[in-house]
Structure 1
């Protein structure tokens, strides 16, 4: 039956436009042309200058025959060119593929081949890797060298210089929004632990909405000063290249994470916002005391990844940095849930607030659905804070799918939800709390042990800098917890027995680590601890003892 609202009220150009974050820069450059856009060492750009550079980039790529649906790969640290690529590449309908700068030539070659890259824009710090990767490609892409003055060494990746390439382009280039907001805007490869990584495809609509969601949940006002402590290659910097631009903010670039420099830049530029994994927060806690002082304004830090221990959250807030905890994955444009804060919690003690902030919380307003459920029946689990289920997500900020991998896409979307592989409980108030990865949960004597709960107890020990817990095979119990620990430099003589006894005072006996190994923890380029490496090491311990 046709309703009265279905007649004569059609979608036309006057009342409908596709959603794309690329349009943010046009508005910002028009309204705030002289406001600062990018700070990088001695480099200072205004929004009119950055917009001109983005249009030049898009125009120059188009002039070299690159256009709609073509992949432009970039291997760049957090520098101005990386911000510009987030606009210049999609301006022509091309797809931005931000490459993990820590990967080797073999992995990069796979991504370039799989994504069919037509161009590669690379910083000369990664020149050896890029040159080696390109050698193995059947079709040679256009390679553009970025000579960042903050790096200041190394040989050129190619004969084509990025700044010279921009001069090929027109600063008045008349770019167009995509014809369809479902068009791909970017390609991000997962950091898979087995087999080849999967190519996650984002669309313009999802990028627009997640950028808006970031602003909403963080209550970001106009003109934030955003410090790039999070790699822009990771989930397109959680969509913050677009979010900060929409608010006419300032991108403060940072080539690599250096805790003392981070604190110096916060003071120098009055940084208001920054993001990063818990490892970044932990690093700030362990700089010399003399480097910690002098922050006389509110700094908001958004963190995700593994749940930050309550001890870390409490300590970082004592430094004057306010934590917002979010959760997400590559497949959902970065963060899509947030531990939304309630004023009644302000009256709690620091430790009590930190425990609440360790939760992953509730869905963004831009995410259609979140559920903690049984992965077999797809039924939601009780909101009792005890029953463990898998986290499921759905909505416009879920990926289009995996590039050239329909079977993996179908499996990920089984039952009408995206399957995250993360295990959590649901609290009575609807806030979820991650307990483990599906593959990380320890089953000892038939009991489920959350590695995160054990790690949280270990982090409470004053000598522990970093902790990770994995399963170690055990003939009697099936599996037992094995803790890998990095001690603080000033820790002194701390033994395995000391930490086991410490945990016994705080955990049920079956959850206490049976083994403690003191070592440096292996990590991904985004600061995530590589538990698959530690699981192999734990099995090797078992073999050695046998």
Structure 2
């Protein structure tokens, strides 16, 4: 489907489906999903949501919102998120979807960098902002309240393909998340790639796409949301993944496509057999990063083929890969074929291309006259980082990839200092900076370690003078939980007298990673994962 050729924005794609099929379902959630805010579930048609979008658009328009303004949305995956996003998108306003797990310090950083004109949310999400003096300048407003006048000078009350659609935050190798500026074209390009995967991932008119992934990720916002709007399909936006309710939600919603991350199939395989295992209409699961052992068992038990893929927030659909056309049983860490819209190189540290079978950093760009077409528009207020990422006219992914003899691409490792846990990119420097602030910590080094369920887990070496290691580790974790989201907290901690350093007195990251894996394997590290999981609720 020619998404780019037909539409100018996500709202444009949505409006076309409203016009074509007003009675077709757009947002669905069955009662079995157990949503606290919709215990009976819901089924909202395109025409019904379209009318709500028009009312919200009129309110924002009257208040003076338009191109150049940003609005933070603390609405999770509720239907109201889509209403306000599409209303704002129609006026050229950019949204900043907020992760509900952020702690106040993290939230203040994101809202400040984004320079939002308004923060809109539901009671339990907006209440902390309304009470905090540091958040008053972001004008927190509860859903349903009157929209205050826009304080920015806007250039127009309309968008086009180049207009900023959303600002999403991503953790790279630096200590603080970067704000990725994403245009309307970016999201249309994601949908274009999603529809063009072919093979077992061919998207059909009337598909129902179920996702537990949050709308502050490009996967949910671009593939599931815009991907379905482009063809008049429906979205089942769950609040998050709940294993005990998963298969009932899938079957009762009529989902034909499910999205998840590598950790989810692994958890589902631990459930006892149930009639719900096959009570579904799903054709494929879009699930990047599934362990090859879990993939085979999942496909056999549940009768659903898994599609693996690779992309980054920065690359979107302009440079992505998929296994949709790769025969079942592909090898471990295979990320498939590159999109036809991208050029790529695999290079060594000197920038020279490596031979087939050898691992090197993946460099990508859009094929054609504009190498940045469809990519992110840049890092907000960080032109230097943007240009560094595009050094030499190629986007440097920081991922080490190899090309197999079969011509397919295989993920090897990461150049950047990040932990990839359950699909979340966690900057080790951000975690280190928080741990370093805790009393008694003299030095620390954070690294990823393999995790059977989540792909990777956060591991921290800590230099501290203490005889009560377990008690100190617990105190450090609890105090850090007030500063960073729970998923960034260390799942393992090991106390050491000093940290491995390179000849230039920098942390020897490679050696640290190896030592951490050994400490987990031989049981000398403190396993704090149960405590970490309990801190998610606080």
Q: 2:403 aligns with which of 401, 405, 426?
A: 426
Q: Which of 332-341 and 393-402 deviates more? A: 332-341
* Higher-RCO chain (CA-CA 8 Å, sequence separation at least 6): 2
Matching residue of 1:183 = 163
Matching residue of 2:19 = 30
**CA separation of 1:292/1:413 partners in 2, compared to 1, >3 Å: closer, same or farther?**
same
- Listed one character per residue, the Cα deviations across residues 8-49 of structure 1 (whole Å, up to 9, x for unaligned) are xxxxxxxx9873232111110111111111123432211111
Q: 2:258 aligns with which of 270, 274, 283?
A: 274
**CA separation of 1:308/1:441 partners in 2, compared to 1, >3 Å: closer, same or farther?**
same
- Look up the SS of the partner of 1:419 in the other structure: strand
> What's the CA shift for 1:95?
0.6
CA distance in 2, matches of 1:521, 1:397: 41
Question: Is the contact between residue 483 and residue 517 of structure 1 (CA under 8 Å) also seen in structure 2?
Answer: no
Give the gaps of 5 or more residues in structure 1: 1-15, 147-160, 169-174, 347-352, 443-450, 486-495, 501-512, 528-546
Q: Which of 36-45 and 225-234 deviates more? A: 36-45
Give the gaps of 5 or more residues in structure 2: 30-37, 150-155, 367-372, 420-446, 462-498, 502-507
**CA separation of 1:130/1:282 partners in 2, compared to 1, >3 Å: closer, same or farther?**
farther
CA distance in 2, matches of 1:277, 1:213: 19
Mapping for residues 29-108 of structure 1, pairs under 5 Å: 29-40=18-29, 41=38, 42-108=41-107
**CA separation of 1:519/1:336 partners in 2, compared to 1, >3 Å: closer, same or farther?**
farther
- Listed one character per residue, the Cα deviations across residues 324-351 of structure 1 (whole Å, up to 9, x for unaligned) are 11111221237942333447x35xxxxx
Question: Is the contact between residue 273 and residue 299 of structure 1 (CA under 8 Å) also seen in structure 2?
Answer: yes
CA distance in 2, matches of 1:441, 1:252: 31
Taking structure 2 as the reference length, the TM-score comes to 0.71
User: Does residue 369 of structure 1 match 2:346?
Assistant: no
Matching residue of 2:514 = 481
CA distance in 2, matches of 1:107, 1:216: 37
**CA separation of 1:109/1:270 partners in 2, compared to 1, >3 Å: closer, same or farther?**
same
- Listed one character per residue, the Cα deviations across residues 58-80 of structure 1 (whole Å, up to 9, x for unaligned) are 22112122111100111122111
Q: Which of 270-279 and 28-37 deviates more? A: 270-279
**CA separation of 1:76/1:480 partners in 2, compared to 1, >3 Å: closer, same or farther?**
closer
**CA separation of 1:341/1:116 partners in 2, compared to 1, >3 Å: closer, same or farther?**
closer
Aligned length: 432
Matching residue of 1:381 = 354
CA distance in 2, matches of 1:484, 1:263: 34
Q: Which has the larger radius of gyration?
A: 1
CA distance in 2, matches of 1:523, 1:281: 22
- Listed one character per residue, the Cα deviations across residues 226-280 of structure 1 (whole Å, up to 9, x for unaligned) are 1121111112625021111111111112122211222111111221112222122
Taking structure 1 as the reference length, the TM-score comes to 0.70
Question: Is the contact between residue 73 and residue 98 of structure 1 (CA under 8 Å) also seen in structure 2?
Answer: yes
CA distance in 2, matches of 1:49, 1:191: 37
Question: Is the contact between residue 28 and residue 246 of structure 1 (CA under 8 Å) also seen in structure 2?
Answer: yes
Q: 2:287 aligns with which of 295, 298, 303?
A: 303
